[in-house]
Amino acid sequence: MRSSLVRTVALACALALGAGCSREVAELDASFLLPPLSTAEPRAALALDCDDLPNLSPEEAARPPLSPPRLEKSTPRGKPPAWNAVADVTLPDPVADKVDAIDEAYFRRTGKHVTVTSGTRDAARQAKAMYKMLRVGGDPLRLYRNKEAAREITQAYEKARAARKEPDDVVAAMYEVLKSQIARGVYISAHLRAGAVDVRSRDMSSSDKKAFVAAVNDAKGVTLLEESAPPHWHLQVD
């Protein structure tokens, strides 16, 4: 059981309990890597899911499939942000600007900067991360609230693996399912929507957390969820 504190920043704070991840994917053996590169519409309801997928290495992220580029610039921008981020975080500029404002307000209160651990994912990156999670023993059915969507993707993985397809082809099969789901307005992860941001909270004291909530309130237009497995804040920027 995990406890989630849901705060709709513009309106009110409410406490909600829900079932969480029984195993933290971040703690799984994530040493598996894909083979090395050769040298040659209607908006669905917001789903704030526990979504602790393994980070991708640059080599993994560069392998096919690749989603078409977004028509918006993404971080890193010209000037590096004051806040910290793990290597593969991508945020659209309007979202990064909001994180800038939150970080500045948090720094004024604490003298510390936030660490962003996850941002926006396209369908290709989601497929690669879910593939990697499945290869190290993770279970999408325990990770995601939308069990049917998770089952569809897992079945695509299992079918392709049973057919002895190459890793890239397994990921491609999962990617096709994700694209089909998104076309139907189904987003298995909030991180498939522009505006999703995860911020590390395990290194925050009680007073730091209060300062962070106040900083998010100052920014406005942000929905905040505190997750406990593993400890992090999930922000959805409107």
Using DSSP's 3-state secondary structure scheme, residue 116 falls into strand
Q: Whole-model pTM?
A: 0.60
pLDDT digits (tens, 9 = 90+) for 32-55: 333 333 333 333 333 334 456 777
Give the torsion through C-alpha atoms of 17, 23, 27, 33, to 10 deg: -120
Confidence of residue 222 (pLDDT cuts 50, 70, 90): very high
Q: What are 61-105's pLDDT values in tens digits?
A: 767 776 654 434 445 556 788 999 987 788 888 899 999 999 999
pLDDT band at 16; cut points 50, 70, 90: very low
In the chain, domain spans: 1-16+46-51+82-121+195-238, 123-188
Q: CA-to-CA distance for 38 and 172, rounded, in angstroms?
A: 17
pLDDT of residue 31: 30
User: What are the backbone dihedrals phi and psi of residue 2, each rounded to the nearest 5 degrees, phi first?
Assistant: -120, 150
Beta strand pairing call for 231-237 and 196-200: antiparallel
Q: What's the average model confidence in pLDDT over 100-112?
A: 97
pLDDT computed for residue 197 by the predictor = 92
